[in-house]
Amino acid sequence: MTLEFEPAQLRAYFVCGTQDVVGRDLETVVQTALDAGITAFQYRDKGASQLTAAQRLTLGQRLRQRCADAHVPFIVDDDVELALALQADGIHVGQSDDRVTQVIERVAGQLFVGLSCSTLAEIKVANQIDGIAYIGSGPIFPTNSKADADPVVGLAGLRELVAASQRPIVAIGGITVDQLPAIAATGAAGAAVISMLAQSPDMAATVKAMLTASEAQL
């Protein structure tokens, strides 16, 4: 049973793959995050990942079940076929991936669709496309998690994107706990993070900070 999209799912959004937790078990990391109260999980296994396609599918099946047990949406990055095979709740696509309209047609209402937008021009195009659930915008700050990251948007840029977008925006890129209140103050629905949670010494406290920042703006 797939979960319907709700903007509140963007409040504490964890993005992770094996390349982000080298030397550790991704399943254990994700379970710790789920126990801590994350509101969404994106399976993004790429880049320096050493997994074969078969291993990625098998691990994805286990992670998908853990998310289902926790009633937390399971979102797959970029890979439509993997997302459908895993019966994911959602898929997230970038500007350089398959055109989002093709993805929306391919998933035909089975999954909700998130789209990366880092400029006002991209937001204006997205506003005209039916079937997009939410927008991921960034990087808000410099990040080491993506080698091909777009230019930094900054808080002022994020505020402009939020104001222009007809969909809720989740901020991504280089976010630290100290910056969460400022991100929430832009009107963003939440923060999507990799390192901030994957490298957190106290995941429960980090997730609580994410939830508290977004609640302060409600």
- pTM to 2 decimal places: 0.95
pLDDT band at 163 (very low <50, low <70, confident <90, very high): very high
Instruction: Tell me the torsion sign for CA atoms 110, 165, 7, 12.
Output: positive
pLDDT tens, position by position, 78-121: 999 999 999 999 999 999 756 899 999 999 889 999 999 999 99
Q: Is 78 annotated as a binding residue?
A: yes
Cα distances (Å, whole numbers) of residue 141 to 2, 44, 113, 163: 33, 20, 24, 19
Domain region containing 24:
7-215
Q: Is residue 133 one of the residues assigned to a domain?
A: yes
Angle of CA points 179, 192, 153, to nearest 5°: 60
Environment class of residue 23 by beta-carbon count within 10 Å: exposed (0-12), middle (13-18) or buried (19+)? Answer: exposed
Eight-class DSSP state of 51: -
Query: Would you say residue 149 has pLDDT above 80?
Result: no
Q: Is residue 1 one of the residues assigned to a domain?
A: no
Closest CA to 133 of 88, 94, 166, 179: 166
pLDDT band at 145 (very low <50, low <70, confident <90, very high): low
Q: Is 146 annotated as a binding residue?
A: yes
pLDDT tens, position by position, 10-65: 999 999 999 999 999 999 999 999 999 999 999 999 989 999 999 999 999 999 99
Question: Mean pLDDT over all residues of the chain?
Answer: 94
Q: Is residue 2 one of the residues assigned to a domain?
A: no
Q: Is 25 annotated as a binding residue?
A: no
Q: Is 42 annotated as a binding residue?
A: yes
Q: Which residues are catalytic?
A: 44, 116, 146
For residues 133 and 42, what is the distance between their CA atoms, to the nearest angstrom? 15
Q: Is residue 181 one of the residues assigned to a domain?
A: yes
Map tokens 């286990």 to a residue. 62
- How many domains does the structure of the chain reveal? 1
Say which CATH number the domain at 40 has: 3.20.20.70
